[in-house]
Amino acid sequence: MRAISEDLSQKISDQVESKKEELIELLTKLIAFPTVSPPARNTNDVQEFIKKYLEDLGFKTEKWDVYPDDPNVVGILKGEASDLYNSLIINGHVDVAEVGDDKAWDQSPFNTYIKDSYIYGRGVADMKGGIAASLIAIKLLKELGVSLNGDLQFQSVIGEEVGEAGTLDCTEKGYTADYAVVVDTSDLHIQGQGGVITGWITVQSKETYHDGLRRKMIHAGGGLKGASAIEKMMKIISGLQELERHWAVTKSYEGFEPGVNTINPAVIEGGRHAAFVADRCALWITVHFYPNEDYEVVIKEIEQHILAVAAADPWLCNNPPQFTWGGKSMIEDRGEIFPSLEIDPEHPGTRLLADSFEKLLTQKPKIGMSPTVTDAGWLGRAGIPTVIFGPGKLEDAHAVNEKVEISQLVDFTKVLAVFIAEWCNTTRKEANQ
């Protein structure tokens, strides 16, 4: 049994159409805040704007700094019967990708403009379009007098573009719900995701030697049991490639091309001067893994394999590699984690979201996996059933002349508004039947 009538669904759809200009105006205001990350530390003003917008809609808000001048904002609209009805998180990040040379853009990246059927500007697809449409959907429900029995929570977070995981901060503060929708770029597909973790592997010699002593390390009878950390890192890289090929053969996940689970040797730093044998070498790697894998298990697999490689080497066995994984910021500590996210198409929330999509847009949604990563994995890791569902195409995110189709923004607003009204007015008992 639906929580709202067909007539109300149609009324919501009609009202969204009438609010198209208001939606564009709100998105234009959000884009005007240049929240580029990196360098980051620039989101306070837009978060203050969103905080006030939520408070005007009756939300009780909390705002706190994750980093200086980069705060999260969470708003909660208490339901009329919170103990009995489903609660919902709407989550989105306000930081946007760096612009590069803005001379390559047709117009200023932070002044939106409309051309043909698209609106242009940095962040319209990734992902201020999803935030603006979500806020309009919530406002519309209030204006129509649609009351919600379950709690509605809006999370406006920072740091997604550089792995600073404002969403993780929300979960660590105890914010939770029965279901979550991350309104990031998905082309209106309902998606889960694989995961990403970065790590540093470091080889460090106990001694430092002059370059002139290298001959004693590499020739018979030299008698010096030393080695170049750079050359020993070559063995570790070879070991990583061996493991990567093994994963490609032995692991797979529906919805992903074979071999998506990669180990990329992204950055290497080693040696101190041409007059020394390199006594230190550090390798920065990026690891992609499947939705059914946990990053802690993936870390153990890599460490076990590389330590076995080291154990078979006469120098590395006494100078084993050291590992540093993840991090909370690519800016602050050169590391990041994006947990993977599996989705259950039969979860009541996912079924209801798909049903709302089909009722309003007269077609079935595509349910699958994102080829990229978002903050959604942190919500899933916190035990909250979560999906990615938002406007915008991945090829337009981060692009010069970033754009999103206005009709898709409108369609997303319709679906989300109806879904909110349905989910937050469905009892937990009904949802699980």
Burial status of residue 61 (CB atoms within 10 A of its CB: 0-12, 13-18, 19 or more):
middle
Question: What per-residue confidence (pLDDT) applies to 95?
Answer: 98
Residue 413, token pair as written in the block: 């607003």
- Architecture of 6-193+341-431 per CATH? 3-Layer(aba) Sandwich (3.40)
pLDDT of residue 278: 84
Nearest to 30 by CA among 196, 174, 116, 156: 156
| Rounded distance between C-alpha atoms, residue 84 and residue 178, angstroms | 11
Q: Is residue 403 packed enough to be buried (19+ CB in 10 Å), middle (13-18) or exposed (0-12)?
A: buried
Intervals of the chain under pLDDT 70: 1, 210, 212, 216, 220-224, 431, 433
| Residues 423/387, Cβ–Cβ less than 8 Å | no
pLDDT at 321: 98
Instruction: Please enumerate in sequence order all residues whose Cβ is within 8 A of that of 257, keeping only pairs 6 or more positions apart, or say none.
Output: none
pLDDT tens-digit readout, 205-252? 988 876 867 876 777 666 668 789 999 999 999 999 999 999 999 999
| Total-model pTM | 0.94
Q: What is the pLDDT of residue 208?
A: 84
Tokens of 218: 């590499």
**What H or E segment, with its residue span, contains residue 166?**
helix 166-172
For position 223, what pLDDT does the model report? 66
Structure tokens at 29: 């205001």
Identify the pLDDT of residue 210.
67
CATH fold group of domain 195-325: Alpha-Beta Plaits (3.30.70)
Q: Return the domain boundaries, the chain.
A: 6-193+341-431, 195-325
Give the catalytic positions in this structure.
95, 160
pLDDT score for 185: 98
Compute the distance between CA of residue 113 and CA of residue 119 in angstroms, rounded to an integer: 6
